[in-house]
Amino acid sequence: MSAAGYRGAFLKRLAEVLTPLKKVVVAYSGGVDSTFLLFAAKESLGRENVVAVIAQSPTYPGQEIAEAIKYADGLGVTTRLIDTEEFSDENFLTNSRERCYFCKKELFSKLRLIAQEYGISHIVDGSNFDDLADFRPGKRAGEELGVKSPLVQAGLSKAEIRRLSKEAGLPTWNKASMACLASRIPYGTRIDEAILNMVGEGENFLKGLGFGQTRVRHHQSIARIELHKDELPRVMEQGLMDAIVKKFEELGYTYVTIDLKGYRTGSMNEGPPEAEI
Question: Which residues are annotated as catalytic?
Answer: 180
Q: Which of 179, 138, 134 is nearest to 157 (CA)?
A: 134
In sequence order, the β-bridge partners of residue 219 are 222
* Alpha carbons 37 and 65: distance in angstroms, whole number: 17
Q: Contact, 181 vs 196, CB < 8 A?
A: yes
Q: Which of 74, 28, 29, 32 is nearest to 212 (CA)?
A: 32
Cross-sheet strand order for the sheet of 78-83: 78-83, 50-56, 24-27, 122-124, 147-148
Name 3's Cβ contacts closer than 8 Å, sequence gap at least 6: none
245-263 per-residue burial string, b: 16 or more CB within 10 A, e: under 16: eebbeebebeebebeeebb
DSSP element (H, E) containing 166: helix 158-167
Give the C-alpha distances (Å, rounded to integers) separating 3 from 9, 16, 69, 238.
Answer: 10, 20, 33, 42
Q: Are strands 24-27 and 50-56 parallel, antiparallel or unpaired?
A: parallel
In sequence order, the β-bridge partners of residue 114 are none
